[in-house]
Chains A and B, each alone.
Chain A
Amino acid sequence: QKEVEQDPGPLSVPEGAIVSLNCTYSNSAFQYFMWYRQYSRKGPELLMYTYSSGNKEDGRFTAQVDKSSKYISLFIRDSQPSDSATYLCAMIAGNNRKLIWGLGTSLAVNP
C-alpha cells in the first residue's frame, strides 16, 4: 500500500461547478499537507498548505484535513476553465522531512 493514495481521474466538470479533490494517507506522522497545481507542460507549483487538522481558505479554494480519518480534500468553488490542471497532494512528516507525493488528479473544467 502506498503512503499516499490519490485517484488520478480524469475529472471533467462544467464551469461553475464545485470540485472536490481528495487524498488518503497511512502515515499518522504527517504534519503538513500541501496541494500543488500543475498546468500542462509546466512544473508543479504550491497552491496551498494546511498544518495538522482543520480548514484553510484562499479565495475559491479550501483545503481540509481530517487526521482522524487520514483524509485530505481540496474544494474549488465556482470552478473556471483556468482551473484545468493536474492537482497533486503532498505530505511531510516532522521527523524525516521527506515529501511524499500523490499521483495527481487531472481536472478539466469545461466552458
Chain B
Amino acid sequence: DADVTQTPRNRITKTGKRIMLECSQTKGHDRMYWYRQDPGLGLRLIYYSFDVKDINKGEISDGYSVSRQAQAKFSLSLESAIPNQTALYFCATSDDGTGTDTQYFGPGTRLTVL
C-alpha cells in the first residue's frame, strides 16, 4: 500500500462548486504539505502543517483552506472553485525538518474547473 494516498485522483467540477481533496499518510510524519503544480510555474506551496495544531499559509493560499483532522490526515478545500484553480495537486509529508527535510509525495489529484 502507498505511504501517502490522495483522493480523488481525478476530478472535474464547475465554477463555484466546493471541492475537498483528501490526503492520508501511514509514514507517521508530523509535517504535511499541499502543493499545486502548473506547467511553467513548477511546484507552489499552498498550505503546510507541522503538527495537528499548527497550520501555515504557503505562497498561494488565497482561495484555499485546509483542515488537519489527525496526524495522518490533511484535507484541502476550494470553497468556490474557479477555472484558474485547474491544476495538479500534490500532498506531501516529511519527518521533523532536520537535514534535507525529505518530502514524500502522494500520486496527485488532477483537478479541472470548468
Interface residues of chain A, those whose CB is within 8 Å of chain B, are 8, 32, 34, 41-46, 49, 51, 88, 92, 97, 99, 101-104
Q: Which residues of A contact B41 (CB under 8 A)?
A: 103
Question: Given A43-B90, A97-B97, does the pair A88, B108 have CB atoms closer than 8 Å?
Answer: no
Q: Which residues of A contact B108 (CB under 8 A)?
A: 41-43
Question: Given A42-B107, A43-B108, A99-B103, does the pair A88, B42 have CB atoms closer than 8 Å?
Answer: yes
Q: What CA separation (Å) do A44 and B108 show in the bound complex?
A: 10
Interface contacts beyond A41-B108, A102-B42: sample of 6 additional A-B pairs, CB < 8 Å, sorted by A: A34-B100, A42-B107, A43-B92, A44-B90, A46-B102, A92-B101
Q: What CA separation (Å) do A45 and B104 show in the bound complex?
A: 7
Q: Offer 13 A-B interface pairs, CB within 8 angstroms, sorted by A.
A: A34-B100, A34-B102, A43-B92, A43-B106, A43-B107, A44-B90, A46-B102, A49-B100, A99-B101, A101-B42, A103-B42, A104-B42, A104-B43
Which applies to chain B's interface (DSSP): helix, strand, loop or mixed?
Answer: loop
Q: Which residues of A contact B104 (CB under 8 A)?
A: 45
Tell me whether A32 and B105 are in contact (CB under 8 A). Answer: no
The A/B interface has a contact count, at CB < 8 Å, of 45
* Chain B: interface size category: 10 to 19
Q: What CA separation (Å) do A34 and B104 show in the bound complex?
A: 13
Closest A residue, CB atoms, query B4: A43
Q: Which residues of B contact A101 (CB under 8 A)?
A: 42-43
Q: Which of A34, A41, A43 contacts B105 (CB 8 A)?
A: A43
Q: What CA separation (Å) do A46 and B102 show in the bound complex?
A: 7
Q: What CA separation (Å) do A34 and B106 show in the bound complex?
A: 18
Tell me whether B90 and A92 are in contact (CB under 8 A). Answer: no
Closest A residue, CB atoms, query B41: A103
